[in-house]
A and B are shown apart, each in its own frame.
Chain A
C-alpha cells in the first residue's frame, strides 16, 4: 500500500528562523495535501498541491511528482506557527488518502 514518510519528526526554532519540512511517498501521488494542526485543534488545509509550487503568505509548497516528494517551507517563523504539520497523499483514483506521521514544530520567542 501507499506509504508516506515525513521528516523531521520534530523541529525547534527561534522566532524568525526558516523551516523546511519534507514529505516522501512510495507511489506517484495524484492527490497531495499539506495540513496544519494546532494542539487540540482541527486539521486545517494549507495547500492542495499534487505538482509544482504554490505560495501563500510565508508558506511555500513544492511537489516534484516524478521524484515522489513534497516540501513545505515556512519563512520567518512565528510562535503561532507552532503545531503539527501533516502531508497526505493518494494515488490514482483511490479513496484512501494516507497521512504521514507529522512534523511537530515548536517556535520559541
Chain B
C-alpha cells in the first residue's frame, strides 16, 4: 500500500533551470530522507530530517536544498541543474522506534 507519495514522476528540463520535487508521507513517521539513485543504481543519501530538523546533510552541491514544512512533508529544490543531476530521486520515511524505511516511487530527472 502506497504511503510515501512523490511528485512529479518524471521531469525533463534544461541545464541551468530550477526544479522542485515534493514528498509526502502518511505513515505518521518523524524522519524523512532524500536519496539519489544514479544510472548504475547506486543509492546515496543526500539529506535526512527528524521532526522538521535537518540532521544529515551529506556532501552534495550547494544547489541542492531540502525544505520541510512539517514532519509529513520533505521537498527538494535544485537551483541551476547540471547534466550530472540526471538521476532518480527517492524519498523515504521511518519512525524512530520501528526504524524500517519506506520509499516513494521516485522522481526521474533528465537534464538536457
- CB-CB under 8 A from A44, the residues of chain B are 103
- CB-CB under 8 A from B48, the residues of chain A are 95-96
| A-side interface mostly | strand
Chain A residue total in the interface (Cβ 8 A): 24
* Distance, CA A99 to CA B43, complexed state (A): 6
Chain B residues with CB under 8 Å of chain A are: 31, 33, 35, 40-45, 48, 50, 55-56, 58, 90, 92, 98-106
- CB-CB under 8 A from B56, the residues of chain A are 94-96
* Distance, CA A94 to CA B101, complexed state (A): 13
- CB-CB under 8 A from B105, the residues of chain A are 41-42
| In the complex, per-residue mask of A75-97: 1 if CB is within 8 Å of any chain B CB, else 0 | 00000000010101010001111
**Contact residue among A42, A101, A102 (Cβ-Cβ distance under 8 Å from B106):** A42
Contact check, A42 vs B104: say whether CB atoms are below 8 A apart.
yes
Specify the chain A residue showing the minimal Cβ separation from B102.
Answer: A45
* Distance, CA A48 to CA B97, complexed state (A): 13
